[in-house]
Structure 1
Amino acid sequence: MSNRLAFALAGTVLVGAAALLSAPAMAQQNPAGQQPSPRISVIGEGEVGVAPDMAILNLTVLREADTARAALTANNEAMKQVLAALKEAGIAERDLQTAGLNIQPRYTQPGKDRNGEPKIAGYSVSNAVTVRVRNLADAGGILDKVVGLGVNQGGGIAFVKDDIKPTLTEARKRAVADAVARAKTLAEAADVKLGKILSIEEQSIMPRPMPYGGGVRMAAKDASVPLESGESTYRTQVNVIFEIAP
């Protein structure tokens, strides 16, 4: 027998021996014919409604002028007055945040001639600020005051709970309890016995504060802006997998 043939045969024997040695280990990891244990998977929902204790206002100052510089200057002066009024009303600096600054050209409408093109007629500058009002009783008065000082866009309001941790904790408890109740119903309907919980996974947390849809321009007609805070609802979901007991 040649050396080359002997080497090839030895290699084949070694590979075969390795396969035989690894087979018992693979059999232990995945026993032949064994199927995953039967399970029940459900999604539970928990929802909690609470009275809000904070209002979030979105206010915008819009100014227009022939040049971008003039529009920005006019906007800066108006926004400075608005911010000063908010601070005077007791709003802390940590509760004031610029939400956006936008400078855009204003175009003329093209003429009837197909070749006519719109031309720049001026510029508009908008500066938006988000305000957190921690005393709900002050929200209406603050809105009324800032409209008189230059706020002429926005007006979106959301009523929220400042500290939502206790609320979300209760929502999670209700979600798990709802999942258990659903799993029991399914097990009874299928005539099987519900086993232990194999896993719990939180799907999502979706705070849903009740919005106020009125615009600032409409609200400014009133001597005092009437607001109703209503109730804020917070919701969570959990995916729970149960074992079906033998």
Structure 2
Amino acid sequence: MRYTIATLAMAALTMTAAPAAAQSAAPVPILPDAAVLDVVATGEVSRVPDIATIRAGVVTQSATAAAALADNAAKMDRVIASLRAAGVAPRDIMTANVNLSPQHRYVENQPPVITGYQATNTISVKFRDVAKSGTVLDALVKAGANQINGPEMSVDKPEAALDAARIEAIKQARARAARYAEAAGLRVDRIVAIGEAGEDRGNGPRPPVLYARAEMASDAPTRVLPGEVPISATVSVRFLLK
């Protein structure tokens, strides 16, 4: 983060009357012995996530494109059926990607030869009960999913936590401004402007892709631990120092 202190020289201000529609906001008057301090600060709070989002895919290969797609569609139907049987609502199941690509054999000094086709269908699944998501992941693999990415943890309604982070950010900015003012032999008089620079709504990092085969699924259940996710807000605050 970068903080700048700019001392403003006194200037004669003249204003002429103008229609209300043509007038702009008047600048904040600065006293001749005043200085302006701009501070950027971030406030952060932690919350237990209540949403887990994963991507589950089915990858199939066949000699022809039609066969690869047909095999893939049949297996994906079973994956979706397993999700609905586990209580996942249709609104929480979304197609994320469908891909069909040829597979090649490469031989030196010869053009590549198509040996078959690979079809991939990936869905994004949102779990609103994080504690049960591990069990559903196991059911997905048994149903035919052989590509899993996630889970990504998040907070469903982060507004209250964001407000707490904003308050913390202002506190951080005030404390920092007081230290700068003291070092400069001044004091903080008041805030003249506040802006929100950005926010983090509590989406956890995306884990790497996990590949699995149904026949290799372990009898041990998959455990998904929610932990906590940070939720932050960054503000820019302009202080008047005297």
TM-score by length of 2: 0.81
Distance in 2, Cα, partners of 1:61 & 1:36: 69
Q: Secondary structure at the match of 2:14?
A: helix
Distance in 2, Cα, partners of 1:190 & 1:178: 19
Shift of 1:211: 4.9
Q: Aligned residue for 1:154?
A: 148
Give CA deviations for 1:164-205 in whole Å, capped at 9, x if unaligned: 111111111101111111111110111112122111111111
Q: Quick one: structure 1 residues 98 and 199, their matched pair in 2 at CA, closer, same or farther if it must change by over 3 Å?
A: same
Q: Is the 8 A contact 2:61 2:119 kept in 1?
A: yes
Q: Aligned residue for 2:14?
A: 28
Give CA deviations for 1:74-106 in whole Å, capped at 9, x if unaligned: 111011111111011100011111111111111
Q: Is the 8 A contact 1:171 1:234 kept in 2?
A: yes
Distance in 1, Cα, partners of 2:65 & 2:151: 30
Q: Aligned residue for 1:86?
A: 83
Q: Aligned residue for 2:51?
A: 54
Distance in 1, Cα, partners of 2:56 & 2:178: 50
Confirm or deny that 1:186 pairs with 2:180: yes
Q: Is the 8 A contact 2:153 2:203 kept in 1?
A: no
Q: Quick one: structure 1 residues 189 and 220, their matched pair in 2 at CA, closer, same or farther if it must change by over 3 Å?
A: farther
Q: Aligned residue for 1:176?
A: 170
Q: 1:112 aligns with which of 108, 121, 140?
A: 108
Once the two structures are superposed, the pairs formed by residues 2-151 of structure 1 within 5 Å of their partners are 28-29=14-15, 38-109=35-106, 111-113=107-109, 116-151=110-145
> Counterpart amino acid of 2:79?
V
Distance in 1, Cα, partners of 2:13 & 2:129: 67
Q: Secondary structure at the match of 2:94?
A: strand
Q: Secondary structure at the match of 2:183?
A: helix
Q: Secondary structure at the match of 2:231?
A: strand
Q: Aligned residue for 1:196?
A: 190
Distance in 1, Cα, partners of 2:180 & 2:41: 13
Q: Can you give the 5+ residue segments of structure 2 that lack an aligned partner in the other structure?
A: 1-11, 17-30
Once the two structures are superposed, the pairs formed by residues 211-226 of structure 1 within 5 Å of their partners are 211-213=206-208, 215-217=210-212, 220-226=217-223
Q: Aligned residue for 1:209?
A: 204
Shift of 1:35: 8.1
TM-score by length of 1: 0.80
Give CA deviations for 1:113-142 in whole Å, capped at 9, x if unaligned: 3xx111211111111111111112211110
Distance in 2, Cα, partners of 1:50 & 1:167: 8
Q: Aligned residue for 1:15?
A: none
Q: Aligned residue for 2:23?
A: none
Q: 1:163 aligns with which of 133, 157, 160?
A: 157
Q: Which structure is higher in helix share?
A: 1
Q: Aligned residue for 2:227?
A: 230
Distance in 2, Cα, partners of 1:224 & 1:155: 17
Give CA deviations for 1:48-95 in whole Å, capped at 9, x if unaligned: 111111211111111111111111111110111111110111000111
Q: Secondary structure at the match of 2:212?
A: helix
Q: Can you give the 5+ residue segments of structure 1 that lack an aligned partner in the other structure?
A: 1-25
Instruction: State the aligned residue count.
Output: 214
Q: Secondary structure at the match of 1:140?
A: helix
Q: Aligned residue for 2:24?
A: none
Aligned-pair identity in percent equals 31
Runs of 4+ in 1 over 4 A off after TM superposition: 34-37, 210-214
Shift of 1:155: 2.8
